[in-house]
Amino acid sequence: MTREIHRYSFRRAVPAAEIKNTLFLAVMAAEGLHGQSRVRMDASYAFDAEKHACVIDTGSAVGRDISRMFVGFALREFGDTAFNVSRADHAPNAGAEGVRA
């Protein structure tokens, strides 16, 4: 099964802690929409503070919603030039912070 992964890379001026908080805010919003158990089962994401980046598996409805909410929150909080999004060719690393598979 092919996974759909989106990678978000942020400028160094954006505090890593704020990126992480925004990702977890998107996850909590998805829990409100889909329920905590479904997010725990269907969501996969990771945050890398050193790289100022995160990845979200968008191969499920939950993942797509997390990604959409993350983009919306990040645009409002950091601005439209603060980050880039691209498709990644691999799943979140199990050693990265915040991974759910």
**pLDDT band for position 95 (50/70/90)?**
very low
| pLDDT, tens digit, 9 for 90 and up, residues 21-80 | 999 999 999 999 999 999 999 999 999 999 999 999 999 999 999 999 999 999 999 999
**pLDDT, position 88:** 80
Is pLDDT larger for residue 2 or for residue 9? 9
- Which residues are paired to 46 by β-bridges? 55
Torsion of CA 83, 91, 40, 38, to 10 degrees: 90
